[in-house]
Amino acid sequence: MPNVQVLVGDGNKVLGTFQPDGLEGNGVPAQAGFRAGPGQRVVEVNLPDSALQLNPDALHKHKKGGKSLKTFRPGTSLTNAQLLELPVDILVPAALENQITAANASKIKAKIVAEAANGPTTPMADDTLFKRGRTVIPDILANAGGVTVSYFEWVQDFSSYFWDEDEVDKRLERAMVKAYRQVAETAARGKMSLRDGAYVVSVGRVADATKVRGIFP
């Protein structure tokens, strides 16, 4: 199954991208509608080798006819390189590694890059984006929600006491907001990127735990 990225916009300006799960499934139009907020619409779909303009209703009709997204050609196509360099506010590389490199980091126009994929930005590209004043929310922080909820599942299984969906969402939001604030404050104090701030926080926690518990648990 191909990885995809979808750009969300307000009709005039692309606001961001996301990667829907299950490109070939029936849930894509629903996910597209869910991610697009009030006054916004999905305007592009990005496959590994190209990007397509997208109307979710047209895509849904196309899919209901038993056809593949590969044959859906409603508008002008773009290359992945062109897609990454669009004048967006938020760019979410959500599929592949090493998409933002030293070769294209200087051309990234997004103000915020939120790494939903693992390792979509190379170290040299990260340095370039930081020097250009771009905010990169690193993968270790941006996509930590999944492993956080996995921990919640372990806690519930261990205690045999289970939370409803609202409780999980509230606890996740508290954990993620707290983590972001700690990383952002550390980065601001050290005048460093959020990625370096995340490393300082995480290494510091390991060091503190080692001092208290010793090398062996």
Residue ranges of domains in the chain? 5-139, 144-213
Region label for 115, one of left (φ > 0), alpha (ψ between -120 and 50) or beta (otherwise): beta
DSSP label at residue 88? -
Q: What is the pLDDT of residue 32?
A: 45
pLDDT band at 51 (very low <50, low <70, confident <90, very high): low
Q: Does the structure show a pLDDT above 90 at 54?
A: no
**CB 44, CB 69: distance < 8 Å:** no
Q: Per residue in 80-132, pLDDT tens?
A: 788 788 887 788 887 789 999 999 999 999 888 989 889 999 999 999 999 99
Q: What is the pLDDT of residue 215?
A: 77
Mean pLDDT for 195-210 is 94
Separation of first and last alpha carbons in the chain: 42
10 Å Cβ neighbour count for 52? 21
CATH 3.10.20.90 fits 5-139, yes or no: no
pLDDT band at 44 (very low <50, low <70, confident <90, very high): low
Mean pLDDT for 18-38 is 40
Per-residue tokens: 156? 């519930």
Q: Lowest-confidence range among 12-16, 66-70, 98-102?
A: 12-16
DSSP label at residue 133? T
Could you give the percent of the chain with pLDDT greater than 90?
A: 45
pLDDT band at 5 (very low <50, low <70, confident <90, very high): very low
Q: What is the pLDDT of residue 17?
A: 44
Q: Which H or E element spans position 18?
A: strand 14-18
